Amino acid sequence: MKYISTRGNSPEVGFIDAILAGLAPDGGLYVPKEWPRLDEDVLAKIDDLPYYEVAAIVLKSFAGDDLSLETARAICAQAYDKQWHDNDIVPSREIAPNTYLMELFHGPSLAFKDVAMQMIGALFEYCLDRRGEKLSVICATSGDTGGAAVEAFKNKKNIELFVLMPDGRVSEVQKRFMTASGGDNVHALILDGDFDGAQTLLKGLFADKEFVKEVKLAPVNSVNFARIIAQCVYFLKSAQVLGKKSKIDYVVPTGNFGDALSGWVAKKLGANIGMINIANNANNALAIAMKTGHFQIGESSVATISPAMDIQIPSNFERVMYELANGDEKSRAQTIVDIYASLKAKHQFDIAPDTLAQIGKEFQSSYADDETTRIAVNDCHEKTNEVICPHTAVGWDAIKNCRKDNPIILLATAHPAKFPEAIVEILGINPDLPNFVSDLFDRPEKYEKLALNENIIKNYIRSKI
Ligand SMILES: *Cc1c(COP(=O)(O)O)cnc(C)c1O
């Protein structure tokens, strides 16, 4: 399986090179040169297979000759083992007529990011062992990626993990997952700025090829296609289980567009999926662009009660624009290069009308500000007795704008106990942390506060490897 860059100016690479590099050298994102599709007989049996087996099939189909099916199965068996607190890994329940809640938060850090990160942890360990290499794994986090990465990589040999989080923009529980893991190879960095600032700094680090080589830097943000592969498994599995009579529509609380893209990728694999409804919070540049074709961002993101979605520039939207743009590989890559040049210079870009029409066939969008989100937490609790986290609530609000032709699965992206401040304020209920993390606030913390400055971060990383 070959991977190419959305910006068209990087050599083709194999699967393992694509995921260990994460970002293409030209600053683009890797996509498969040809998209795999599962055979009908494989699709027909997904329903009966345990989660890790489905994951192994998906992983193998994107890895091609780089991994055997046995190896993929061993990696996925390790990833979806006893650190999961539900036997179904991602259980779905009907909470209202034809409306299902898929709980993605039964992993070790209580957010959907665990589903992918656990697979990546096992996958990276295998690849590094096989090659006898070491890696500096890095992520910028709006809250949950960091905790999931810490749980996936702590105490793994051959890996140092660097987590960049924006100061004051993550909940106390989220922060503790990053600072109180006890892993010697975990470096939690609190930066003065917002998530977009941290993500831009990260891109800056990767633009310095010498530095990347020197410290062997790899990102595990959803720019890394491995995240997308792992996440499309739960779309595939749930669509095959619940979509026997009709297609399934999804509602996906969205920040960086990684999860929403994963749904689209599952559809390409052959999953019985209809519409993917993306739900933004007050940082609604993407939701508006999907309706109007005009993408425009402000000076900085707005802080909301769904902080993991406080993102203005959804990095994975690049992959969809690339795939759905008109023309051959070369002209589509040029479209992407032009878009990002415009974004850099003018904080805006326009999506070509025919591309927008293609996007509209696969995705719909809506958004909710904090007030609407609070109402949605309440509304869901009143109607279904479920306590949902504020991110999931942004999705609950979106349901009212969705077509109702097909059953809807709403992705519950985090455990409500990860955001107790908001839930107490809205519902007057204090959601309990599950037992396995009830000592989170008693564990010692370890972190550094650093300026949002490329050189400072580079020197810090150098000093730790
Ligand atoms: C990361 C995250 C999101 C957004 O997911 P993207 O893949 O970035 O769109 C939504 N909710 C929660 C709880 C998250 O942690």
Q: How far is the CA of 309 from the centre of ligand 1 (A)?
A: 6
Nearest to residue 161, comparing CAs of 129, 120, 126? 120
Q: How far is the CA of 408 from the centre of ligand 1 (A)?
A: 19
pLDDT in tens, 255-314: 999 999 999 999 999 999 999 999 999 999 999 999 999 999 998 889 999 999 999 999
Q: Specify the 3-state DSSP secondary structure of 410.
A: strand
Closest approach atom of ligand 1 to CA 144: 15
Q: In the structure, what pLDDT confidence band is assigned to residue 199 with cuts at 50, 70 and 90?
A: confident
**Helices assigned H by DSSP within 80-208:** 113-131, 144-153, 172-179, 195-207
For a ligand 1 pocket test, name from 106, 112, 232, 410 the mutation site with the most ligand atoms within 8 angstroms of its C-beta.
112
Cβ-contact 167, 180 below 8 angstroms: no
Q: If you take atom 14 of ligand 1, which residue's CA is the nearest one?
A: 308
Q: If you take atom 15 of ligand 1, which residue's CA is the nearest one?
A: 144
> What single letter denotes the amino acid at residue 280?
N
Residue ranges per structural domain of the chain: 92-108+227-427
For a ligand 1 pocket test, name from 110, 256, 264, 377 the mutation site with the most ligand atoms within 8 angstroms of its C-beta.
256
The third-level CATH classification (topology) of the domain covering 92-108+227-427 is Rossmann fold (3.40.50)
Supply the residues annotated as catalytic: 113
pLDDT at res. 265 = 98
Q: If you take atom 2 of ligand 1, which residue's CA is the nearest one?
A: 308
Q: pLDDT over 70 for what percent of the chain?
A: 100
pLDDT at res. 194 = 87
For a ligand 1 pocket test, name from 170, 413, 419, 423 the mutation site with the most ligand atoms within 8 angstroms of its C-beta.
413
Across the chain, mean pLDDT equals 96
Structure tokens at 65: 């000759």
Structure tokens at 169: 């923009």
pLDDT in tens, 87-96: 999 999 999 9
Closest approach atom of ligand 1 to CA 389: 13
At residue 142, does pLDDT exceed 90?
no
Q: How far apart are CA 437 and CA 406, in angstroms?
A: 37
Give this prediction's pTM: 0.96
Q: How far apart are CA 306 and CA 327, in angstroms?
A: 38
pLDDT in tens, 377-407: 999 999 999 999 999 999 999 999 999 999 9
**Helices assigned H by DSSP within 80-143:** 113-131
Q: Which residues line ligand 1 (CB under 6 A)?
A: 111, 113, 143-144, 222, 253-260, 308-309, 391, 413-414
At residue 171, does pLDDT exceed 90?
no
Q: How far apart are CA 17 and CA 30, in angstroms?
A: 10
